[in-house]
Structure 1
């Protein structure tokens, strides 16, 4: 083959009334997008500014050519210097007051950006074909928004999610440790039988082990989120997929290496 056709890439910005700023976005679609008369499933991602560092150009090209995945559109949203305030949980800030604009970010996603994508692009009108993902604090944000707006998403993916996010500082020997906000979000939320979850953690995500149980906090926090979801009615395995990367770290190279596996799950035929 003497030439190669690259996927379609569109870069732009959308002014959000909720955030009172322009949000930079990138859309990547398979070449068939131009001539297709059908709509495409959507993979929406926080921290879209990490597109190159995750090697997503190569990963998406391979996914678009794979017979194992459905044709889909990737949409990456870039954050700015307010990341620590816009990402988080919409219901409450953490104990240090971080995440104070998370509710506004959620409203931007649900009330502004999703309708924009469905109007201006060939984005599926079937909410079950929408997948939302993110890494670290961006993963917590994606989880919080998708879980609380399950009528807009079918799947959610979280890489090394910041499930340590808490209403009060950790108290030593607090065995229940219910101050982690994600646990209360799940407990107070509504069960949606169609919603599916994908979680990833690296065995070297961190070294902290606050309860001295021999398991690092990042894995502990994720497994307890999974347990809370099972109490809600979701099945594990089944509705919930958990991938633990041995030697994996809390960094872009680890997440980039496991991203193809995530896409295979998210967009499986």
Structure 2
């Protein structure tokens, strides 16, 4: 994606700028949307149109040490400048999920409304008020845990708007039936089923991360924790759909990695150089 973008050189130590934007009020979500918009070092000194990363759970930027990570990458000239739009979560248990259906406990009941907000309110608002691209091949969406499930669902189903998804410890266990009482039908995992029923789009690419200590559950007793199984099984479904493991998918498994912002912060440079590397 970044191969055709101009290189960027620094006259001095780069420093990103964070703008707190509370001007967007969502009709479908019925709430004010809090955005942290992180601008690249040269933003105020140019008229460039920038690539853009939309990120769920934007309230976690401090724990992710995002400004430190970005400043380090910019100092190394490891990434092409881009605008980060971090969306603070509202009712994340209901707003994050799969737009097509809620899970068996009706979690994710507002995921369709959240997707509507992203497509009809968030993206147009950001494009109007910040110098960001409207091109799908320079637009990325990412998230963590449930927010990662949401990001993947949005990108997979809206290739005209986004081209890349970044998923940190994604909640791909999301399913239509409970696994209690020994029930183990893996075809009930909602996102896997949506991929099977979905379409192949040649320009989509996906980045996934799991940690070996994301959790301890191992529902099929195969010695591999569920979060890893669920993620690698989803990758298998993408490959069956036509995506290449080598060209379209990057999977990073972190030994000792946990389900927390500290682990995600450590691997963040890998994701950002994958998405915006020169």
TM-score (normalised: structure 1):
0.95
Q: What whole-Å deviation, never above 9, does each CA across 1:150-194 have from its counterpart, x for those lacking one?
A: 1111110000000000001126364x5110000111112121100
Residue 219 of structure 1 deviates from its aligned partner by 0.2
SS at match of 2:188: coil
Distance 1:5 1:155 in 2: 26
1:77 to 83, 87, 90: 87
SS at match of 1:207: coil
1:141-152, aligned counterparts within 5 Å? 141-152=150-161
2:224 to 198, 215, 221: 215
When residues 173 and 83 of structure 1 are mapped into structure 2, their CA distance, relative to the original with a 3 A threshold, is closer
**Contact 1:206 1:216 (8 Å CA) reproduced:** yes
Distance 1:259 1:32 in 2: 22
Distance 1:251 1:142 in 2: 17
Q: Report whether the alignment pairs 1:247 with 2:256.
A: yes
Aligned to 2:5: none
Aligned to 1:138: 147
Q: Please tell me the root mean square deviation across aligned C-alpha atoms, in Å.
A: 1.3
Distance 2:76 2:152 in 1: 27
Residue 92 of structure 1 deviates from its aligned partner by 0.3
Distance 1:189 1:45 in 2: 23
Distance 1:255 1:52 in 2: 12
Distance 1:258 1:55 in 2: 12
Q: Report whether the alignment pairs 1:106 with 2:115.
A: yes
Q: Report whether the alignment pairs 1:46 with 2:46.
A: no
Aligned to 1:61: 71
Number of residue pairs aligned between Structure 1 and Structure 2: 265
2:27 to 13, 17, 28: 17
Q: Report whether the alignment pairs 1:170 with 2:160.
A: no
Aligned to 1:187: 196
**Contact 1:42 1:123 (8 Å CA) reproduced:** yes
Q: Report whether the alignment pairs 1:30 with 2:58.
A: no
Using the TM superposition, name which of 141-150 and 3-12 deviates more: 3-12
Aligned to 1:226: 235
Distance 1:135 1:83 in 2: 11
Q: What whole-Å deviation, never above 9, does each CA across 1:37-91 have from its counterpart, x for those lacking one?
A: 22000111000000000111101112233323111111100012x1100000000
SS at match of 2:172: coil
Aligned to 1:157: 166
**Contact 1:64 1:72 (8 Å CA) reproduced:** no
TM-score (normalised: structure 2):
0.92
When residues 214 and 72 of structure 1 are mapped into structure 2, their CA distance, relative to the original with a 3 A threshold, is same
**Contact 2:13 2:75 (8 Å CA) reproduced:** no
When residues 67 and 4 of structure 1 are mapped into structure 2, their CA distance, relative to the original with a 3 A threshold, is closer
When residues 5 and 63 of structure 1 are mapped into structure 2, their CA distance, relative to the original with a 3 A threshold, is closer
Segments of structure 1 that go 5 or more residues without pairing to the other structure are: none
Q: Report whether the alignment pairs 1:268 with 2:274.
A: no
Q: Report whether the alignment pairs 1:236 with 2:236.
A: no
Distance 2:95 2:105 in 1: 14
When residues 29 and 66 of structure 1 are mapped into structure 2, their CA distance, relative to the original with a 3 A threshold, is farther
**Contact 2:14 2:75 (8 Å CA) reproduced:** no
SS at match of 2:212: strand
